[in-house]
Chain A
């Protein structure tokens, strides 16, 4: 406990003491070898995501993963830009999932820290940073391609195609458990929840699975999920879908499903820290739980088609530093984006945003973490700035997440794209409907 407190005091100080500059310095002190790189051969990367607050589970683990990535890259000689080795340094800014703080953070990272690329979670925070991107031409990344529009020319979604990949989980269920015929869904009413609702509705319709009633939306401030769960399971659905609920919601919802005696199939976009859900329910209850984010110690990730450096070793290092139960959906994602950015910068021989972006998108294809992928999205987002390919379907078996299959998102879209557009339109989530 005492050790935990001191460890967290240091972490927290780095975030709160004097803001992101201190965090960046702390990170740099951790990941920069003292003698390997000249002072001016350092590339600074901005990390502008929620590091505190209810959405921190989709920011902080990503920064933790990036620090490992940075250490490994620097130890291996850094990034080769025009024949010269450059160290990488992450400068973090906690936007607390607040658009105003995202705007302040983006300005600070560009003007004061001189970063060359900024990674964000996106969602509600992107509208805050967008004016800064428009003004400066800075290259940004988001985990949420629903942020993309024809106006966001310097915003890319190179890793996670949330929520479109959710179709793969439903498709896998339909193929492997055809006896499941009815579903219900709940979601928080926000920029993450609603596009995911539309996607799941399209996926269920494409799979011939009937929704018992309209998705049950709840306020993000909800703490007691008993009423939500009572309603969800009142009609004995075959499938309960948890949409893209935050970890703070998935855990108590699962506990309520367990306590209220639900014995059917559960599907969710994420199951962050799922070991804790198993502890709060039972291994039997969680058996067969379907979601979309693998543990990186999964042997399936050693396949040749995977474009992530030493995934099993990365997971082992992450688990030894932060604990295996702290592994979450985004622990690898920002690091994966850095793989793409590094390849783009080395190809361009430059770290300038426009040059890197052009190099990344050259030929219209790119190496996504889960295989070769296409720059795509004009149909849905008005711009081809999302890198889309295969995505894993993960199932909890014996208390452990296991990749069952990689399925193609473009293949699904080719068959059912109109359904997705129909439901996205109904929920006001098409790029030309967003304000």
Chain B
């Protein structure tokens, strides 16, 4: 039983790592721009397809492919900010609808470029750390966990220690007051969109060798991310990280000891319970709810 618990804990750590990356990006975009980006799952998908193109098709090193994926998806985010979200800044519903339309465009473009079938991504490494006969941690999964920790720590340092980070936080707290202090709303929106999209892209790129890469893969990721950011409190980065870890552990343990369908139900019940008890989410504030 101890071995089963240990293996399940390792599985949960991995799930928490990529879920946190996606959810934090989604929260950052909402926090600064006030837009619910429904196309966030498709940005995750684009990151995975960057791996298909650069690593699987062009045979370039995997780390190069991850860097390309993160940068490319960040640039796509910049394009979304300029094309959709900035013109619709005063119309949050318009931004939401535009992101829904854009997710369909991205799915169609990827289907046109790569086809509709699942893509094959060769394994980066098949090495496994054998802790006991029943407790194993594939080296690649460990790498994904470490990469997520480094990226989230870097984001935290950026937000807390740099002028751009202060500007982002100020814009997220009160956009009008931030503008009166000379902070460019357009610039903070661009930075938030680039970072938020790049985080989704790098999550897709990191996990691509472990999951089925197809044009519709963003759907399940975005559902989980929405549960996480609603429970954590929309707009709260700390909430997104903590709830991503908690949700991943609950979902993974329930899947292992009961089944995956019950795990989904438990996740939704948690969401309902939090909304009833604390409608702003565990770490959210009333003005962002």
Binding site for B on A (CB under 8 A): 1, 4-5, 8-9, 11-13, 16, 51-54, 56-57, 60, 189, 216-219, 221-224, 226-228, 230-231, 234, 247-249, 251-252, 255, 258-261, 273, 276, 279-280, 282, 325-326
Contact = CB atoms under 8 A, between A and B. Distances in A.
B118 A189 contact: no
Contacts of A326: 117
A227 B11 contact: yes
B162 interface: no
A16 B108 contact: yes
A60 B117 contact: yes
Contact of B113 (A5, A54, A230): A5
Nearest to A224: B15
5 pairs of A and B residues whose beta carbons are closest in the complex: A218-B260, A221-B220, A12-B112, A248-B212, A227-B255
Contacts of A282: 126
Contact of B116 (A53, A216, A234): A53
Given A12-B111, A54-B216, A221-B223, A227 B136 contact: no
Main secondary structure, interface of A, reads helix
B86 interface: no
B133 A261 contact: yes
B259 A223 contact: no
B23 interface: no
A230 B257 CA distance: 10
Given A8-B113, A218-B259, A224-B15, 6 more contacts: A60-B117, A218-B255, A223-B221, A227-B253, A247-B118, A260-B7
Nearest to B18: A224
A221 B11 contact: no
Contacts of B133: 261
A325 B115 CA distance: 14
Given A217-B261, A280-B122, A252 B211 contact: yes
B226 to A, nearest CB: 13
Nearest to A222: B260
Contacts of B7: 230, 260
B187 interface: no
Interface of B: 4, 7-8, 11-12, 14-15, 53, 57-58, 108, 111-118, 120, 122-123, 126, 128, 130, 133-134, 136, 138, 141, 207, 210-212, 214-217, 219-221, 223, 251-253, 255-257, 259-261, 263-264
Contacts of B255: 218, 227-228, 231
B239 to A, nearest CB: 22
B11 A230 contact: yes
Nearest to A248: B212
Given A189-B261, A227-B256, A251-B118, A221 B219 contact: yes
Contact of A252 (B112, B212, B261): B212
Contact of B210 (A16, A53, A189, A252): A252
30 contacts: A12-B116, A16-B108, A16-B111, A16-B112, A51-B116, A52-B216, A57-B117, A57-B118, A216-B260, A218-B261, A219-B263, A219-B264, A222-B220, A223-B207, A223-B212, A226-B252, A227-B8, A227-B15, A227-B255, A228-B255, A230-B8, A231-B257, A248-B212, A252-B210, A252-B212, A255-B123, A279-B123, A280-B122, A282-B126, A325-B120
- Of B14, B116, B133, B253, most buried by chain A (CB within 10 Å of CB) is B116
A247 B117 CA distance: 10
Contacts of B12: 227
A260 B251 CA distance: 19
